[in-house]
Amino acid sequence: MILATGGAGFIGANFVLDWIAATGEAVLNLDALTYAGNLESLASLNSDPRHAFVHGDITDRPLLDRLLAEHRPRAIVHVAAESHVDRSIHGPAAFVRTNVEGTFTLLEAARAYWGGLATNDKAGFRFHHVSTDEVYGSLAAGDAPFTERHAYEPNSPYSASKAASDHLVRAWHHTYGLPVLTTNCSNNYGPYHFPEKLIPLMIVNALAAKPLPVYGDGQQVRDWLYVRDHCAAIREVLARGVVGETYNIGGWNEKPNIEIVRTVCALLDEMRPDPAGSHARLITHVADRPGHDRRYAIDARKLERELGWRPAETFETGIRKTVRWYLDHADWVARVQSGAYRDWVATNYSAR
């Protein structure tokens, strides 16, 4: 068994589904079920004995100690995080609590548990920390992509909190010997994505004939990684990664935000035409957010060179699968759009 934190969120739910399908190994899934945690994403595992869900918080040390003692996982995959930059600007305290204090608490629980394992189990144990390329800051147009040796220069409360968690993980390895692995991924997209992030928000708004808000000139560049490719990379790193090392996971898909929005509109025009005209008519430029990083780009050659991993999806294949998934899962989308979600969209965009 492995323990996955945040396994009801976007990346976490996809990871749990992918892990069980690919390996057959059981997962103990710990999630606080905050606004983006959605057990409906895991409905296919409702009667599967390989999935054990626990509603709880990674800052709860007694709970962590009990779960580790009872279930004896051979690894921890730490996905749980507050992850939306705009939310971190409006309310940074939650990001410090979950991403910094939560990671610290989990590391301390893992260290105590690992220290009590038998020799063979202790040698095989791993703590895999899932992080983001945003810790590296922003790149200029001509700069080389981020490598694992790039200096940390976080520019938002979110990225600063993730950078802090990365540093804690590194320190617990070098100080205490905890066998850790860290992966820093680029922008994920795909099924089960809460509709506040760019791609699902554009899909949901376009289908409702609502404005498609694009920050500033829309020329902010991101590298896009299909979430199931990310999950496959995590499996490879957990299985064969070198303890103490960091691996960047990217999709080799650098694209400006406005191109992403236009691509989504074109796919919707094809798959769900609107009698009123092209969905691109809904594109609305809004005031940029404070401290908006201009460009992220991931150099994932280390992961390919050392572990043989490359993404299976191009952006063209991945975005088509993503749009189709949202069209085919209208019930999931409708249920996730709770009053709290609508309040958040109003808070974030009404003044722009």
Radius of gyration from C-alpha coordinates of the chain: 20
103-153 tens-digit pLDDT: 999 999 999 999 999 999 999 999 999 999 999 999 999 999 999 999 999
Decide if 196 is inside a domain. Answer: no
Q: Which residues are tagged catalytic? A: 133-134, 158
Using the Cα atoms of residue 88, residue 90, residue 96 and residue 99 in order, give the sign of their dihedral. negative
User: How many angstroms separate the CA atoms of 295 and 149, rounded?
Assistant: 18
The rounded distance, in Å, linking the Cα atoms of 29 and 281 is 42
Q: Which CATH number does the domain housing residue 133 bear?
A: 3.40.50.720
Would residue 185 count as lying in a domain? Answer: yes
Question: What's the rounded Cα separation, in Å, for the pair 315 and 152?
Answer: 27
Q: What is the pLDDT of residue 349?
A: 45
pLDDT score, position 342: 43
Cβ count near 26 (within 10 Å): 17
Q: What is the Cα–Cα distance from 308 to 187, expressed in whole angstroms?
A: 21
- In a domain, residue 43? The reply is yes
Residue 260 lies in a domain: no
Does some domain include residue 42? yes
Residue 16 CA to residue 7 CA, distance in Å, equals 6
Question: CA dihedral defined by 149, 150, 154, 158, rounded to 10 degrees?
Answer: -50
| Helix H or strand E encompassing 304 | helix 301-307
In angstroms, the CA 35 to CA 201 distance is 15
Q: What is the C-alpha to C-alpha distance for residues 66 and 282, in angstroms, rounded to an integer?
A: 51
Q: What is the pLDDT of residue 289?
A: 83
**For residues 135 and 166, is the Cβ–Cβ distance under 8 A?**
yes
Point out the residues of the chain with pLDDT beneath 50. Answer: 341-342, 344-345, 349
What is the pLDDT at residue 338? 66
Neighbours of 335 (CB within 10 A): 11
How many domains are contained in the chain?
1
Query: What DSSP element (H or E) covers 164?
Result: helix 157-176
Residue whose C-alpha is closest to residue 232's, from 312, 319, 127: 312
Distance CA 5, CA 56 (A): 10
Return the DSSP state at 187. E
* Structural domain that includes position 174: 2-190+224-252+295-312
